[in-house]
């Protein structure tokens, strides 16, 4: 590893790793550390509470690496990762940084928290968000283990969703693992939806009311099946009128949909905009407010709704 004359040791980016910022060395207390009442604290911004550095001396303090989520300093024989004291014996000469992961002779760390399993820096690499692997273990960006994952067969399906030879994984908030017998696939670009062995799941939770045969994904938040629309969750919104076929639905605008006969506004709540001629509908948007009109009937859907009231209101045509 490289060394810098200003400090006892300098952590530099490994040639195999892409680093967002160059390593640096600086004597004295510098950002993201500061002194408060003579004590050294870690405080990357004013909105986070200061975290005192145990045993640090402001008069004998040096920042030796800054890299956004992972920052290294030393003082009085101690080494610090952000506000955490690194284990005794930490050797900066053999340490490397990859994004928010630190690899060292005393273990591996994600955002300065020690990982449950020591990861191999040489083979460690990013998959699609939020997954990483060293070929033996799979972790998320927080360093949490993807429990039970087989690294050799692990495949990312879409954001926060993956599978291996015998499991489906959802990793966001609460991690969920489901057994897979035949197949698992996600519905990109929809967030959270997946078909596991013919059953639909949202955020890893079974949705027995949802119909996989007619399910369609429209956007990050919006989807539909033969029953109706889903928006930002597994709860079906207002039921479709009889005869609606999800395959015939298309988006007119980001949150406005039609099947050629009906028009819906779908954003957190779904609403059928009655009285519109779907063949002549136009959508105008200004500052998040939506206006849907066929020239005779107009519906206005403001960017902010009122709890308990319909999001859209029909505007009576002028006499």
Q: Is residue 5 part of a domain?
A: no
Q: Is residue 167 part of a domain?
A: yes
Task: Look at residues 61, 79, 114 and tell me which one is the last residue of a structural domain.
Answer: 114
What is the percent of the chain where pLDDT is above 70? 90
Tens-place pLDDT, residues 248-267: 999 999 899 999 999 999 98
- For residue 64, whether the previous peptide bond is cis, meaning omega lies within 30 degrees of 0, is no
- Assign 317 a pLDDT band (cuts: 50, 70, 90): low
1 pLDDT above the threshold of 50: no
Q: What value does the CA radius of gyration of the chain take, rounded to a whole number of Å?
A: 27
Task: Look at residues 151, 175, 206 and tell me which one is the last residue of a structural domain.
Answer: 206
Q: Is residue 2 part of a domain?
A: no
Give me the pLDDT at residue 318, please. Answer: 61
Q: Is residue 17 part of a domain?
A: no
Segments forming the whole domain that contains residue 174: 127-206
Do 169 and 109 lie in one domain? The reply is: no
d(CA 238, CA 60): 65
Do 167 and 221 lie in one domain? The reply is: no
Mean pLDDT over 297-302 rounds to: 94
Looking at the chain, how many residues does it have? 319
Q: Is residue 160 part of a domain?
A: yes
9 pLDDT above the threshold of 60: no
Nearest to 258 by CA among 309, 292, 214: 292
Do 171 and 106 lie in one domain? The reply is: no
Q: Is residue 122 part of a domain?
A: no
**What is the tally of helices (H) and strands (E) in the chain?**
0, 35
Do 59 and 103 lie in one domain? The reply is: yes
d(CA 119, CA 102): 10
d(CA 241, CA 227): 9
Tens-place pLDDT, residues 146-204: 999 999 999 999 999 999 999 999 999 889 999 999 999 999 999 999 999 999 999 99
User: Mind giving me the DSSP string for 35-81?
Assistant: EETTEEEE-SSTTS--EE-TT--GGGEEEEEE-SS-EEEEETTEEEE
Do 309 and 221 lie in one domain? The reply is: yes
Q: Is residue 264 part of a domain?
A: yes
Do 234 and 282 lie in one domain? The reply is: yes
Q: To 5 degrees, how large is the angle CA 163–CA 168–CA 171? A: 90
What is the percent of the chain where pLDDT is above 90? 80
Give me the pLDDT at residue 307, please. Answer: 75
Provide the domain count of the chain: 3
Q: How high does pLDDT run on average in the chain?
A: 89
3 pLDDT above the threshold of 70: no
């Amino acid at each position: 590893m490289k060394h810098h004359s200003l400090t006892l040791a300098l952590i530099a980016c490994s040639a195999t790793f892409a680093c967002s910022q160059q390593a640096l060395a600086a004597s004295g207390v510098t950002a993201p550390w500061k002194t408060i009442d003579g004590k050294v604290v870690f405080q990357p911004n004013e909105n986070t509470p200061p975290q005192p550095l145990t045993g640090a001396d402001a008069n004998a303090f040096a920042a030796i690496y800054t890299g956004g989520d992972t920052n290294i300093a030393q003082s009085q024989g101690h080494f610090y990762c952000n506000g955490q004291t690194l284990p005794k014996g930490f050797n900066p000469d053999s340490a490397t940084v990859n994004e928010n992961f630190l690899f060292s002779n005393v273990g591996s760390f994600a955002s300065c928290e020690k990982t449950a399993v020591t990861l191999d820096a040489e083979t460690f690499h990013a998959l699609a968000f939020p997954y990483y692997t060293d070929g033996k273990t799979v972790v998320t960006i927080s360093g949490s283990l993807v429990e039970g994952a087989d690294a050799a067969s692990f495949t990312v399906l879409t954001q926060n969703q993956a599978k291996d030879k015998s499991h489906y994984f959802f990793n966001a908030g609460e991690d969920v693992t489901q057994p897979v017998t035949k197949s698992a696939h996600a519905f990109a670009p929809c967030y959270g939806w997946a078909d596991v062995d013919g059953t639909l799941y949202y955020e890893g939770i079974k949705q027995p009311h949802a119909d996989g045969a007619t399910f369609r994904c429209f956007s990050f938040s919006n989807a539909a099946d033969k029953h109706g629309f889903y928006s930002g969750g597994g709860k079906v919104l207002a039921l479709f009128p009889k005869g609606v076929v999800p395959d015939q639905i298309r988006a007119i605008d980001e949150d406005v949909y039609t099947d050629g006969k009906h028009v819906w506004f779908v954003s957190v709540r779904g609403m059928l905009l009655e009285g519109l001629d779907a063949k002549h509908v136009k959508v105008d948007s200004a500052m998040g407010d939506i206006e849907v009109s066929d020239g005779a009937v107009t519906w206005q859907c403001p960017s902010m709704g009122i709890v308990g009231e319909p999001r859209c209101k029909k505007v009576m045509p002028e006499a």
